[in-house]
Amino acid sequence: MAERTSEADLRIGASAADAVKTRRAGDRPAAGAAAGSDGAPAVGIAAASGETKQLTCITCPKGCSITVAVEDGAIASVEGAGCRRGEKYARAEATNPQRTVTASLCVPGCLEPLSVRTAEPVPKARMADVVRAISQLTPQLPIEMDQVVCPDIAGTGVAVVATKRLPA
């Protein structure tokens, strides 16, 4: 894929707008039943041991406020999730937060911008690299819906796909 230097209209997907706050353990409210305290492995855990992470679930419009407690490098409890999906989201957010990146790209010979997104969420820590790499893409007409415009963006192993069709 060729590169270009002109600036693309890039924006991060709405899923990145969630509020995340980390507090010391002494600040957290009294613990109730420790939902899901199954001692999951603390691979790449984002919150330090002895801290709580306050999350707003972005999985559905209800926006539950979820508290994740970390003890001895592992998730000790997840409280406040209204469903299993939210608990899964909170656990992932505390260990390896990821985001889907969306963007709009200029296409040579076309006045209409091309909207694209990552085919899967990418690690939050790599988002700046991904946004930069997407801005360098120059997809060529014609472009089909769901067409892969980059098979591996910024070495993440995640493809970028078109979210609209642009005929020749």
* Interaction between residue 36 and ligand SF4 (CB under 6 A): no
Q: Give 7's DSSP letter.
A: P
* Interaction between residue 64 and ligand SF4 (CB under 6 A): yes
* Interaction between residue 81 and ligand SF4 (CB under 6 A): yes
- Our CB check for ligand SF4 shows the closer of 56 and 140 to be 56
Task: Compute CA 76 distance to the chain's CA centroid, rounded to the nearest angstrom.
Answer: 23
- Our CB check for ligand SF4 shows the closer of 24 and 85 to be 85
The CB-of-92 to ligand SF4 minimum distance in angstroms stands at 12
How far, in Å, CA of 4 to CA of 8, rounded? 10
* Interaction between residue 107 and ligand SF4 (CB under 6 A): no
* Interaction between residue 88 and ligand SF4 (CB under 6 A): no
Evaluate whether 22 touches 94 at the Cβ level (below 8 Å): no
How far, in Å, CA of 64 to CA of 80, rounded? 7
Q: How crowded is residue 140: how many other Cβ atoms within 10 Å of its Cβ?
A: 14
Task: List residues binding ligand SF4 (CB under 6 A).
Answer: 57, 59-60, 62-64, 81-83, 85-86
